[in-house]
Structure 1
Amino acid sequence: MAMQFVQGGLTGAAKLKAVTKLMDILTQDLSTSKLRPQERDSALEEIKVYVRDPRDADPVFTKEGIETLSKHAFDSSSATTSRNALQCLANSLLVTPSTRDIFAGLGYPEKASSKLMSSNVEDEFLVSRIIFLTTYGTKVNLPSLIDQYHLADAILRNLARHVDVWSPKPNSSLLGSRSKTRARQDPMTKMALTETAKLLFNVTHFCRQHVDTFIPAIASIVTLICQHDIPQPEPLNPPLGPLVNALLTLNLASEQGIAALFPKVKPAVPTERLIRLLDLALNWYSDKELETAVLPLVTALRKIYELAPIDTVRHVMHAKLLPTAKDRKKVLGKGNSVASLILRQTTNALVPEFSNAVSHMLFELSDKDAASFVQNVGYGFASGFLFQNNVPIPEGVQESFQVATGAEGGRGRAVNAITGQYIDQEASADLPEMTDEEKEREAERLFVLFDRLQKTGVVSVENPVAQAAREGRLGRDVIDGKDRIKELD
């Protein structure tokens, strides 16, 4: 007689009773195999629903419960049963962190690493997430998973498969064009790639001694970043955000890393793609999201600049990330270019980490030279960074300078060193000209203010109003006679 399982929305004692019964049945089935495949899968699907809310589902989160689910997940001959159990495990490890150490202690990360070699994207998604979760708060032996259970091989293989899906060269692909189209449109493909990128980041972050094992991943990640569609309207939504993050823990300075980041043909393409993502991100994300979602992108660009060829990629980064002649038609930071958007973030007090990162990036783009930094971004933006980082301020930085180089007619034009704007583009104040009487009153006011400052000892410069009068630039009656000064007191 077929067993009947009640689906759906129990809570409290009724839910606890149902979960207890289901787990008992699944445990007994491991030794008796009395359940029909449909019954077994139905029971696992019901457990999957119940564990989304850990309340009144305690039997699942015990050592016995996790072991039962793990055996169905990794020892079953049925792919459907295995995936249903994997879903239950993934939910359990997510909502109840204590189960992660139980899972690791039972030795199942080793079986999970081996199962990750599966070419099925749903298996990739579920198993990658399970191993990813066990990297937090457990004693999982990552070196052993890499050396003995092929974890690195599985991750590299899965990334290569995703590259194949997005490859624009059908003749070199393992998949036909129709299969590629279906794979790209399948939400599970994107979810699997996202989990693989997250797992790669954690493994290389927590197991630095094996980071060089993952060097081949750099080429796959760079290719995927360049070829994958940019999510709209949030450009760093998965999988692109996790892929950018994954670059940060890899050995980019390796020979393979350099070759991937700066290909011989069109070496600036990967960098330009990242700059495009930054442009879109700065136009979309809130302050809070800049600190989390966009900061890794800036960090990646800084790492790339440090390694980039000077005459190609660095030149492109200068042209796209530093103010241009067009930007200097206004006070710097007032336009809509990516350079203007970056500059505005350098003074954004609501995002201190992000502000610090973009300021350092601009300083590095200026070859870490204070004078070049001031000329590139203007003293108004540069001064705070130079002061906070104890960088000596070069002499004469507050004086206008001539643009030595630049496109769009920028060469040789005088620039206001404070604002970074071309002096010939500065708007004159649209104010009515002062009458002689108004000029005289203003001069008297300034004379008194400087006289008071000199008496305090704070300044020792000559009163400019008195100097102007002595040189014949003001009428003598402006300053003659202490009685007129006293009237202002």
Structure 2
Amino acid sequence: MFARPAQTSGQGKAKVDELLKKLTADLHDEKLSAAQRKSLLEQLKVLGRDPDNSESIFAKTGIETLCEYGFEVAELDVSQEALRCLANAMLLQEAPRQHLLDLGYGDKAAQRLRNDDRNDEFLLSRIIFLLTYKTTVDLVELVEKHELANSICRNLAGHADRLTDPTNQLAHPMNDMAMLETLKLLYNVTANKPELAARFASCVPDLFSILSHQKLPVPPLQVPVSSIINALMIMHITQETCPTERQVQQLVHILDLSMKAYQEKELDKAAIPVLMVLRKVQEKASPDVRKSVQSLLLPNEEARSKPLGQGDSLPSRLLRLSISPSLTELRDVISTLFYELSDSNPTTFIHNIGYGYAAGYLSTHKIEVPETMMRADAQGADINPITGQRLAAESKDPEPEMTDEEKEREAERLFVLFERLKATGVVNVENPVHQAMREGRFDN
């Protein structure tokens, strides 16, 4: 947060009016030096952070003066100081965004983004990003006529090169902030106009590269990681732009860290973009990369020493979340990923995760299960088709008494499973949890 200047509201407004008057006059008189112009704009920038001071900045005439300094003046320092004033004004109020467009400077902002300058990248990406909110901006025209996609992809390629070069010690102080603004702009353009996503295809490998070399924040699903993943969620991923095995491992690592760092309810929204990107990747990946995804996300043979879903491995945690009663969206996304990693084959799906976890997804999606799958030998002589556990590993002793907490979790799981089954119309049986409550066999 910026500290407000010491002036009262009336004094600050009067000072802003005075500064704008001097700057507007000098556009015609040209009596001020570049240093004087920059000084006036710096003062205006500080005062303009307070909306109470900034009525004349927000006005169309104020935006016009700042646009002329930002886009028409030759001195780079002066121009960029004016762009900072514009970005602040556009952030604080909606009207300046439309004023800038009406004055014809949206096109000029996209054209200037072609410059290879990190300060320009930061300022212009932010300005165009703000134009995507509640304005009449024509994103198609900016992309197709003013090379916005090319500029964004070129800037991201530069950031990917920077992060992969271990000798690059003299980093520009604006590198990270400029990259973040570019990522935000990429997401907003493609989210608002999904049909333009193909124009950004060339930046997909750079996004995966940046993600694999970017230091992960704690917890992980924050900017810039969340911005990269959100952008990839919309991008077209092809065989040519699919990530390498190492890059996929980083994506899975982020998912793993997220499962540990966030509460279950937070994951219902936060983790979906990661899983959606993994779905896109596995669909287009080479056989070797796809096998890597399967080995990281599906239960392995070692997990079959217990009923699947027990333990703290990533596949086990995903399995438990896939039937969590409190997750309205995430559980279906997880099950869909498991199904697709099972070649969209119900028999393979049941073998991989067990019928207990697969049943709800198969029934709600009206996917028929071969009757032979439920035979004791359907998955081989030593696999329990319901739990996925090896038969030889099943305990011959009676199961220990469940704790109250375990009973409650199991009741919730059964409740959700039966409700999903009933909703499909495939079965018409009473939910046993309802029945138990009615008969007094279930304590609240």
Q: Same fold (TM over 0.5)?
A: yes
Instruction: Please say if residues 242 and 284 of structure 2, whose CA atoms lie closer than 8 Å, have aligned partners that are also in contact.
Output: no
Query: Which residue is equivalent to 2:58?
Result: 61
Alpha-carbon displacement from aligned partner over 1:53-82 (angstroms, at most 9, x marks no partner) = 423422221111222222221122222222
Give yes or no for the alignment of 1:17 onto 2:5: no
Distance 1:431 1:351 in 2: 29
In structure 2, do the counterparts of structure 1 residues 394 and 22 end up closer, same or farther at CA, with 3 Å as the change threshold? Answer: farther
The answer to whether structure 1 residue 231 and structure 2 residue 228 are counterparts is no
Shift of 1:187: 5.3
Residues in 1 aligned to 2:377 and 2:175: alpha-carbon distance in whole angstroms:
54
Equivalences for residues 67-466 of structure 1 within 5 A: 67-168=64-165, 177=167, 180-183=168-171, 188-226=174-212, 228-253=213-238, 258-261=239-242, 267-287=244-264, 289-309=266-286, 311-395=287-371, 400=376, 413-415=382-384, 417-427=385-395, 428-429=397-398
CA distance in structure 1 between the aligned counterparts of 2:101 and 2:312, rounded to whole angstroms: 51
After TM superposition, give the deviation of residue 398 of structure 1 in Å. Answer: 5.7
How far does residue 245 in structure 1 lie from its aligned partner after superposition?
2.1
Deviation at 1:284, TM superposition (A): 1.6
Query: 1:26 deviation in Å?
Result: 2.5
- Corresponding residue for residue 421 of structure 2: none
Secondary structure in structure 1 of the residue aligned to 2:271: helix
Distance 1:135 1:124 in 2: 17
Equivalent-residue separation in structure 2 for 1:351 and 1:75 (angstroms): 53
Q: Secondary structure of the residue that 1:278 maps to in structure 2? A: helix
In 2, Cα distance between the equivalents of 1:47 and 1:76?
17
Distance 1:430 1:316, change over 3 A: closer
Q: Which AA in structure 1 matches 2:382?
A: R
From the superposition, tell whether residues 422 and 132 of structure 1 become closer, same or farther in structure 2 (CA, over 3 Å): same
1:396 Cα deviation after fit:
6.1
CA deviation after TM superposition for structure 1 residue 291, in Å: 4.2
Q: Deviations over 1:289-329 (max 9, x none)?
A: 434443211111111111123x3122112111111123233
CA radius of gyration, larger in: 1
In the superposition, relative to structure 1, how do residues 68 and 280 fare at CA in structure 2: closer, same or farther (>3 Å)? same
Structure 2, unpaired ranges of 5+: 402-428, 431-444
Whether contact under 8 Å (2:373, 2:379) holds in the other structure is: no
SS at match of 1:163: helix
Corresponding residue SS for 1:334: coil
1:98 deviates by: 2.9
Residues 354-391 of structure 1: CA deviation (Å, up to 9, x unaligned) = 22211211111122222322222223322222232222
| CA–CA distance in structure 2, aligned partners of residues 50 and 398 of structure 1 | 73
TM-score (norm 2): 0.81
Change in 2 beyond 3 A, CA 1:108/1:218: same
- The CA deviation string for residues 264-306 of structure 1, in whole angstroms up to 9 with x for no partner, is xxx5233222212211222223345434443211111111111
Whole-angstrom distance in 2 between the partners of 1:277 and 1:431: 36
Q: Distance in 2 between matches of 1:82 and 1:289?
A: 43
Distance, in Å, in 1 between the alignment partners of 2:241 and 2:320 is 32
TM-superposed deviation, 1:204:
3.1
| C-alpha distance 222-333 of structure 1, shift in aligned 2 (>3 A) | same
Query: Compared with structure 1, are the counterparts of its residues 206 and 34 closer, same or farther at alpha carbon in structure 2 (3 Å cutoff)?
Result: same
**What is the CA–CA distance in structure 2 between the aligned matches of 1:401 and 1:27, rounded to whole Å?**
85
Do 1:190 and 1:238's aligned partners in 2 also have CA atoms closer than 8 Å? no
The answer to whether the Cα contact below 8 Å between 2:16 and 2:48 also exists between their aligned partners in 1 is no
Partners of 2:53 and 2:354 in 1: how far apart? 62
How far, CA to CA, are the matches of 2:201 and 2:378 in structure 1? 45
- Counterpart of 1:113, as a letter, is A
* Alpha carbons 2:353, 2:388 under 8 Å: kept: yes
TM-score computed with the length of structure 1 as normaliser: 0.74
Gaps of at least 5 residues in structure 1 are 1-6, 171-176, 405-411, 433-457, 460-489
Preserved contact between residue 402 and residue 413 of structure 1 (Cα < 8 Å): no
The structure showing larger relative contact order (alpha-carbon pairs under 8 Å, at least 6 residues apart) is 2
Mapped to 2, the partners of 1:187 and 1:127 lie a distance apart of: 17
Give identity over the alignment, percent.
Answer: 35
What code does the residue aligned with 1:328 have?
A: R
Go from structure 1 to structure 2 and tell me whether the alpha carbon gap of 1:247 and 1:368 turns closer, same or farther (over 3 Å shift). Answer: same
In 2 relative to 1, CA 313–26 (structure 1 residues): closer, same or farther, beyond 3 Å? same
Q: CA deviation at 1:232?
A: 3.1
Instruction: Give the length in aligned residue pairs.
Output: 399
Q: Distance between the aligned counterparts of 2:230 and 2:145, measured in 1?
A: 26
Q: Secondary structure at the match of 2:283?
A: helix
Change (3 A) 1:399 1:140: same
